[in-house]
A and B are shown apart, each in its own frame.
Chain A
């Protein structure tokens, strides 16, 4: 499973980079570039299963300097059987 999350960082008196470095050292985690809002850190988590994904998110949440973690993207494809998408009354124009 792969997820994109956003960590909201707390102001710890100029130690933002330390917090980001600590997060970057976590397994399965990759940090992205900080944008215009330096306290919103984009992160991907690449984990073998949802359990590990949740666990990593939990550890992120507990990281010093992390105020909150939001989910942005989740891909959870697996190999179980599939069905076919069908017409739903949706107009063609949309």
Chain B
């Protein structure tokens, strides 16, 4: 097949034309021959217009070409000009376009009246929200997500912290990657990975720590498998509590018990020191040592000497690590040998397994530590890299800082200088930003579900772009009381902006229909520091509107009412946007929202923050041209240049010449990273006689996260229609269970009746079970524990003790 031979629609049937296009696209990508995809050529006869956008789903950040015809998305294709995916998509690519067109899209604002909802106008909806805020601004909270675009996050952040002087804003990313943030901060003094996806193309060893990229980040895994298919030697090591599709492709599978990773990381460090194979020069030049400060627990701990570190590690012999983790001592020695070999290039990947962990900060720090101790850092292929599950967990949550303690650009509300910088950039009066951190996710929802007279001081929550009614842990405590047991909670008010009905809208008092993906402009940031932009391509259905517009419209309603917080230093509206003639545009009126590019305005304001911590972004217009750029993006000789590897001379423009490696945001202010010791500690809850099984929760290939989009796609829903519990065959036999039998799963927090799948996909080890969280009719988070990591405040969804009882039919 030659890409130059394009069948024309006027000479062949339409279907044949589409098929020829599909084959040409596949051939172009498979062959790597350098010719353009035919679908990107101008084809007026076909009537399909193609534009770029990042995929809506995970944090990989694949770029897709979106085909629009007659105002509707009709096709998607991998974008061959995108470095992330080089023209490839995963199977979710089949549905990224059709996710827009589920039959029950929310199209009208709905206000609860008793057990019913009444359709209301947007005007009434906006006034209702403003009434709630005006009555008690300090009792209002905003709950967002890593699916907020960067401009949406900027608007919410400025509205809350720069407008209402209220820091009760937090995202669902608290539930998925907060421990990665604290791990980076504790180690390097600044968040986000030093490496990037390029490491996958050159590493000799890829270690996946509780991570399943074959199903959750398939395009990245495909890059590695492709190398192997070309005959390159690459060793894949899977360290996990259950088998996955990733396991099948790995040469080594190390099956561990929950929290075994803490012992394994310490075991590797123990061997590096005992065998004298740590990288002495790297450590002496670029690292310091830290341990937890038990007297004064804090993220940055206390300094220790190398000798102290060595002493702390002494007990972690391979045999002891085997006892703690369940991984055979020989495999621990294998890992020690791998890290002790300076000739190998080693990349580590992790995601939920290490982050949803009550010692999440500790295990993140320890994995960074083994890379630093062994010197496997700072050169292509040598990197510890966390992955994210949402398209802008990095760009919006971590960089815009939509967390209860943070400000944009790595700033924090508790620091007076940081507050002043933010107030200057936002042009709001000095002292507007509240210095006290707001409530993190678990505390926010606990307060909302606690009666006001018993200290529940959050009265109204506005949820955008997420589904906490399904994804919060311990739902019977943190969400369900609002609906199922209203005693004392009658004054609480839940506002939910979403695209489909969800477990969250079920309990909402006000539901707002939102636009999604290419129904609006957007900018997001992926797992490798890459910022990506797209333009709106189609209209949202009915009266659905952009989340960002919703925030600005409420802000303006408050401004009209004279709320001081909605005025800047000059008395103007906080979100004033001017057109090319320098005239304010009434962007709070929907019919004028797209008269200007509000995204660009918010992005350019935010961009000022990014230079404060060497996370520089280029002007918006540069992202229009590019398939994303990795920050820091610095202008050199008139060109905006991205950064592949941070802290490394020759790659990072902020590293001084002659230093080699420079951790220029070191928490010890000496350009050094911190190598941490953290002891192994048992999970917050472990099986016992009453609750003898360890429950792990997670995702499945067919559904993205809570399934609110993918369960609308009938084909996916049929392929994976409902939740289930995976159980080991011998455990099933002991309980007299057969496939499809129903069991009552009970934890100390709730119960769930669910069908059994013996072994399932993951073949969980004996004494463990797995339940996916995509099914809103079988809420596994009724069972999960709400214990959190002490620093990141991220809950552990992977280790809850449960018991099983067969339900008689």
Contacts and interface: CB of A to CB of B under 8 A. Distances in A.
B229 A35 contact: no
Interface in A63-93: 67-78, 80, 82-91
Nearest to B101: A80
A46 B76 CA distance: 15
A72 B221 contact: no
Contacts of B715: 49-51, 53-54
Given A46-B19, A88-B537, A36 B31 contact: yes
B222 A70 contact: yes
Interface in B577-608: 594, 596-600
B68 A40 contact: no
Contact count band on A: 35 or more
B32 interface: yes
Given A4-B26, A35-B31, A68 B594 contact: no
Given A72-B89, A85-B68, A54 B539 contact: no
A9 interface: yes
Interface string B22-44: 11111101111100000100000
Given A83-B72, A86-B594, A72 B26 contact: yes
B539 A89 contact: no
B524 to A, nearest CB: 16
Contacts of B23: 4, 30, 32, 42, 44
Nearest to A76: B98
Contact of B75 (A8, A35, A74, A91): A74
A13 B1 CA distance: 26
Contact count band on B: 35 or more
A37 interface: yes
Nearest to A43: B26
Contact of A37 (B31, B68, B249): B31
A5 B90 CA distance: 10
A36 B32 contact: yes
Contact of B219 (A46, A53, A70): A70
A84 B71 contact: yes
Interface in B76-122: 76-78, 87-91, 93-95, 97-98, 101
B764 to A, nearest CB: 22
Nearest to B221: A68
Nearest to A45: B22
B486 interface: no
Contact of A10 (B22, B222, B229): B229
B719 A54 contact: yes
A75 B27 contact: no
A33 B93 CA distance: 24
B503 interface: no
B718 interface: yes
A72 B77 contact: yes
A73 B40 CA distance: 12
Nearest to B249: A67
A73 B22 contact: yes
A75 to B, nearest CB: 4
B32 A37 contact: yes
B516 to A, nearest CB: 13
B226 A50 contact: no
A78 B75 CA distance: 10
A11 interface: yes
For A8, A54, A72, A80, the residue with the greatest tally of chain B CB atoms inside 10 Å of its CB is: A72
A50 B95 contact: yes
Given A32-B26, A46-B19, A82-B70, A54 B94 contact: yes
B192 to A, nearest CB: 27
Please name the 5 residue pairs, one residue from A and one from B, whose CB atoms are nearest each other, closest first: A35-B31, A89-B597, A4-B22, A42-B26, A88-B536
Interface of B: 1, 15, 18-19, 21-27, 29-33, 39, 49, 67-72, 74-78, 87-91, 93-95, 97-98, 101, 218-219, 221-222, 225-226, 228-231, 249, 521, 535-541, 594, 596-600, 621, 624-625, 713-716, 718-719
Given A4-B23, A70-B88, 9 more contacts: A6-B26, A6-B88, A33-B27, A36-B33, A37-B31, A54-B94, A73-B22, A85-B538, A90-B535
19 contacts: A5-B26, A6-B30, A35-B33, A36-B32, A37-B31, A40-B30, A40-B229, A44-B19, A53-B715, A70-B29, A70-B222, A71-B90, A76-B76, A76-B94, A83-B72, A83-B539, A87-B594, A89-B596, A89-B599
